[in-house]
Structures are given as structure tokens and as C-alpha cells.
């Protein structure tokens, strides 16, 4: 039987759109970048220090099967180093996206974040660690959202998706600074959605529960990991594949009426 032509393939919902995914060299960000690419988006893979990891993500995206509706200038994915807590680097990140793809940016997914692997109580959290957590998680989300609000394509299809955390609801000891930094992100997203009235750009937060990534495992004993897994109604940790379908939907036209929302994706963990 002859192979079907590309014209008979299911249309890709994000065909031709440009997406920046911060912190996408590893973990949830990596999975999101690949998923959005599979939906047709052209991707900016952002990293801070792990260049080899970021290059592998871009290579995987650029090796995806060709589709006529997403062909255009340059590769399907590029790699851009930028620290999201630095205003000049965030601006350069958006500049690089526009230049590489000769297109306005349609989607921002801010996945970059850090978690103190020591899990200190607030009484034991150093000022330096507190400042670092807020610099990346909160200031980074602010700077990326600020740039996106001014530069995303208006008139429909513009999407700002910020990754928060179900820790803002679980309120576990040892997560004080981290949960507070993510709660601030959630508040910003709700207000930003209202401030973008008339632009057609939506702003939402995705709040994963415990996800089996390097960041989650760091500093935890196997006993603690097992204990956290048993708190889920599914009896397991979440995986990146549990999160990406929601992000893909929020990036699509079908999510237009979802705006200013904090959406937990945690299997009933909290």
C-alpha cells in the first residue's frame, strides 16, 4: 500500500509557531520542548549551564519527521544560553528567537527553576539560599513574563505558560522558600492575564506535583522518595509525560477560554 501523502496527515495544532521553553535542557522542560515540537512548534531550547544536554534536545527535535506545514527558515530548534534571572540575557533570549525564525514569538513556557536539595526549614534557610531561590523562580518568571507580554504575537494564539508547583498547596516542611517563590508566580500569572486584556494573549500556571526528575531526587533518600510516592492515589511519582499534554493544550488555540488559571497536575497528590 502506498504511503499517505503529507496532505492527508492530521494538521499540527502549533504548526509554524515559535515557542521559547526556558530550562529545557533537562527534566520537565526538556519533555515540554519535545512535545511542543511534535505539535508543530519551532523551539528555542534554553539552558543556563548544561550546553551538551541542550544540544541533545535540539538534535532530537531537528530529527523529527519533516512536515510541509512547519518548514521554514532554519532548523526546527535552536539552543540559546540565558540566565532567566538576568534582564539583559532574557532580552537576548527573545531577540535570538525572533532572529533565528524570522517570526514573532507565539508561546513562552517558563520551566526554569531551582529547589534547595537540603530542604531546610525556614529557620535554617540562609538569606543567600532564599535570595537565590527567588531570583531564579520568581524574578525569572517575572522577567520572562514581562518580555513576553511586550513581544508575543497579539490578536490570538499568544500563550504565556508558567510552571508553578503543587507545593503551594501541599505546604510541606522544608519547602518554605520554594513554595513561597512559586506562590508569587501564581499571583503574577493571575494579574497578568487581566493586564493583557485585548491582546488575545493568555497567561496560566501549570502546577505539577512530585515529578521523577533529577531536581526532585537530589538530596532525598530512597525511603523519602517511596514515602512521597505512596501519598499519591496512584501510588507512584508523576513523570514528565504526565505534565506535557496539559502544556500542549494550553499552548493551542483550543485553550483560549482558559486564562488566569492555576492548574494542578499531580494525580490527586494534594
Q: 3-class DSSP state for residue 44?
A: strand
Of 83, 82, 100, 192, nearest to 148 (Cα)?
192
In a domain, 228, yes or no: yes
Contact status, residue 238 vs residue 228, Cβ threshold 8 Å: no
Digit-coded pLDDT (tens) for 210-255: 999 999 999 999 999 999 999 999 999 999 999 999 999 999 999 9
Indicate which residue of 47, 178, 217, 269 is catalytic. Answer: 178
Digit-coded pLDDT (tens) for 137-173: 999 999 999 999 999 999 989 999 999 999 999 999 9
pLDDT of residue 71: 58
pTM given for the model: 0.94
204-234: burial string, b at 16+ Cβ within 10 Å, e else: bbbbbbbbebeebeeeeeeeeeeebbebbee
In a domain, 246, yes or no: yes
In a domain, 8, yes or no: no
Q: What are phi and psi of 149, to 5 degrees?
A: -60, -30
Of 20, 17, 7, nearest to 70 (Cα)?
17
Number of domains in the chain: 1
Active site residue 178: yes
Residue 12 has pLDDT above 80, yes or no: yes
What are the angstrom distances between the C-alpha of 35 and each of 140, 209, 217, 244? 23, 19, 23, 7
Residue 10 has pLDDT above 90, yes or no: no
Residue 6 has pLDDT above 80, yes or no: no
Residue 105 structural domain: 13-265
In a domain, 2, yes or no: no
Residue 74 has pLDDT above 80, yes or no: no
Digit-coded pLDDT (tens) for 75-96: 899 999 999 999 999 999 999 9
In a domain, 3, yes or no: no
Digit-coded pLDDT (tens) for 96-115: 999 999 999 999 999 999 99
Q: What's the CATH number where 25 sits?
A: 3.40.50.720
Of 7, 78, 2, 67, nearest to 40 (Cα)?
67
Confidence category of residue 72, pLDDT binned at 50, 70, 90: low
In a domain, 110, yes or no: yes
In a domain, 178, yes or no: yes
- Residue 114: HSE in the Cβ half-sphere, 13 Å Cα cutoff: 20
In a domain, 4, yes or no: no
Digit-coded pLDDT (tens) for 199-208: 999 999 999 9
Amino acid at each position: 500500500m502506498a504511503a499517505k501523502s503529507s496532505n492527508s496527515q492530521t494538521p499540527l495544532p502549533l504548526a509554524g509557531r515559535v515557542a521559547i521553553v526556558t530550562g529545557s535542557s533537562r527534566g520537565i522542560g526538556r519533555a515540554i520542548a519535545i512535545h511542543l515540537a511534535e505539535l508543530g512548534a519551532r523551539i528555542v531550547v534554553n539552558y543556563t549551564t548544561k550546553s551538551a544536554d541542550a544540544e541533545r534536545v535540539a538534535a532530537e527535535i531537528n530529527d523529527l519527521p519533516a512536515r510541509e506545514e512547519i518548514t521554514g527558515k532554519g532548523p526546527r530548534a535552536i539552543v540559546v544560553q540565558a540566565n532567566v534571572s538576568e534582564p539583559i540575557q532574557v532580552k537576548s533570549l527573545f531577540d535570538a528567537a525572533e532572529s533565528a525564525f524570522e517570526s514573532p514569538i507565539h508561546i513562552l513556557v517558563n520551566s526554569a527553576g531551582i529547589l534547595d536539595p537540603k530542604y531546610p526549614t525556614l529557620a535554617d534557610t540562609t538569606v543567600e539560599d532564599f535570595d537565590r531561590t527567588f531570583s531564579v523562580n520568581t524574578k525569572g518568571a517575572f522577567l520572562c513574563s514581562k518580555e513576553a507580554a511586550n513581544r508575543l504575537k497579539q490578536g490570538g494564539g499568544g500563550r504565556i505558560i508558567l510552571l508553578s508547583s503543587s507545593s503551594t498547596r501541599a505546604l510541606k516542611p522544608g519547602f518554605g522558600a520554594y513554595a513561597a517563590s512559586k506562590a508569587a508566580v501564581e499571583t503574577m500569572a493571575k494579574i497578568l492575564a487581566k493586564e493583557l486584556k485585548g491582546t488575545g494573549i493568555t497567561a496560566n500556571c501549570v502546577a505539577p506535583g512530585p515529578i521523577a526528575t533529577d531536581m526532585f531526587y537530589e538530596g532525598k533518600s530512597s525511603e523519602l522518595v517511596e514515602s512521597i510516592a505512596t501519598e499519591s492515589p496512584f501510588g507512584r511519582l508523576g513523570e514528565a509525560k504526565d505534565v506535557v499534554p496539559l502544556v500542549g493544550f494550553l499552548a493551542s488555540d483550543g485553550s483560549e477560554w482558559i486564562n488566569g488559571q492555576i492548574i494542578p497536575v499531580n494525580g490527586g497528590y494534594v
